[in-house]
Structure formats: structure tokens, C-alpha cells
Structure 1
């Protein structure tokens, strides 16, 4: 009786997590606009994931256009996201955004918010309010999150992250046309997989 032939499949895949993070941003903003009750938390998630999207996008581009540098990116950049942005801009021959102005100043604010939520600590504050009879202050003062998060800030986060990515992406595609960056920084397919199949021979070295 003839033995059934055996095959081996080899595959390579990429999953673009910065695009998944961007989907979270869009979904949370939509929720915040649809249901305003509790929208502060939807806007908070959108802002935090806007930063994740930006950092992920820089790593995605960096790994494509400068793989040797990005092999040890933690050592090369010391977790400094602006250094990553500067390196990519230099490789793409474009001016890097001014740190003190939008859109990059928004990224700095988003990183501060992300760090607060990634390593949460009890926020303590003291205050003193003087008032006259009949003009009593509000019972509840704004919370820390009220001062850091708003729907307007979440929309600004989305727009400013997108602005920087739209500055980089076309320049990177022109300078590095063969690395497979895709047509859009955040939209499109979330993953890609290629595979090949071959007949598995009798060689024990291939039979593992």
C-alpha cells in the first residue's frame, strides 16, 4: 500500500499592531461621540492608544528602513521617542517636527498621560478657596483626569499623530520603495502572511 505523501509548509507573517491600536483610537472616539455619559473614559483610552499608535508606527517604519539600527532600538534610543522620530526623519531626508509646537507637543502630552496610566499612583492635592456667602464653590472640584482628558484633546491627539505619520510615510516610501511600507500609515490590512509548501522527503533531517 502506498504511503500518503507528506508535505511541509513554511510561512512568514507580519501583524501590524500599530494599526490595531489605531483602530482602538477610532472606535473609542466614535463611542465618545455616540454616548456622552462616561465618555471621559472613552476619550482617555483614545488618547493613550493614540500614543501607542504613534510609537508603534515609528517602530514599524524603523524596522523596515533601518533594520540594523532597530535590532537594538532600546539601547540606541534609550526609550526616547523623539530620538526615534529624529532618526527616521533624517533617513527620509525630511525636517523633524519642532518639539515645542504642535503636532509634536501633543505627543509629549500623550506620553505623560500614558505614563501616568501605565504606572498609576494615588493623586493627592490640597487647595484653598475663598468665597462670599451665597457664592459657595462647587462641591466637587475637577479631578486630575478632568484636567488631562477631554474630547477635544482626544480629537487633537488623533489629528496630530496622523499629521506626523502623513509627513513621514510618503517620504519613506519614496526613499525606500522596496521595503513594503504600504500605502497608508494606519489604514489597510492588519496582517500579512506568505507561505510555501514542499514535499517532505525521506531525509531524517527534514523530518522534524
Structure 2
């Protein structure tokens, strides 16, 4: 790699870090390329020599967020007893805690919208789908008779339920729920969903 490319990659890294910090402080709506250019010491137009557009910049920050979330979920999996059901509960609570501790970056993952004709890059899709393995594996252990497609649907349904509770619970309005209570309710939800799925599977096998 030439020195010019090295400088460009270094400046690009500074840009992504600055964007991450700006979203943390201001939220996604507060991300401004002019302010970022000033922060990293380049001309406003030079920002687009480092990234394709603002969409790419937000997705790059999102990938950094997802990587840290992946680490938090991995730690949750190994933090307690190997029971698949308990692992799913720990994963759900870890997701809630991560969202609470990284609120603006977490919100940016879901607030960001690309134009309908723009395709999300493969690297970004990969980073997003990687997280589902944490839910998929315990479900596969609990329901070995299910196909990969069925497990994938169940994993997404479970995530959607937990995500919905977290999103509403952390909303800074009338529906906000104290974090300890939210964690408890999430554990109850996941346990109830898994118990229901186990009961349903037992009924189907008994037929």
C-alpha cells in the first residue's frame, strides 16, 4: 500500500470514528458532513473521496455497532448455564442492556433509511445477519426437528418481540419503563414464548 493510500485509509478511519461520536452525541439526525470535515481537518467535499455517500458512512458506523453488540451477545451466551432457554433469556437481556447503554447508535441501526432503489451492500447485510446465529443455535438445540427455514422464522419472530419491547421500553416518553423492570419483563416474555413453542411441539409429536 502506498503512503497516499495509507493516509487515505487513516483519514477514512478518523471519519468513521468521528461520525460514530457525532451520532452518539446528537443522534442520527445530527450527523452533518460539514461538521465531520471540520472535525477531521479536511474540506467538506473531500469527505466524499473517503466514502461513497452518507448511506455508506452510516452503514460503516452501524457495522462497528453491530460488532460490539455481537461481542455482548457472545459474552451473554457463555455467562451462565448451558440451557438453551436460559441462554436465550440472557441474550435478550444483553440486547436490552446494549441498547440502553448505546442508545443513539442502537437507534441509528433502525432509523437509517436508504432510497428504495439503493441496494444494501453485501458486507452490511452479512454483519446484520451474523447476529441471528446467537438466537438460531439455542433454538436449534431446543427444536432439532425443525428445518433451517423454520428455525430462521422463529429466530426472527423472537427477535422482533424482544426488539419491540426494548424499543418501547426505552422510549423517552410516557411509555418508558425503568430498566430493571424492562429486563424482568423481557425475561418473562422470552420464557413464555419458549414454553409455548415447546408445548406446541409436544402436541404435534403426540398426534
| Fold conserved between structures, TM > 0.5 | no
- Ranked by relative contact order (alpha carbons within 8 Å, sequence separation 6 or more), the top structure is 1
TM value normalised by structure 2: 0.29
Structure with higher Rg: it is 1
TM value normalised by structure 1: 0.29
Higher helix share: 2
Higher strand share: 1
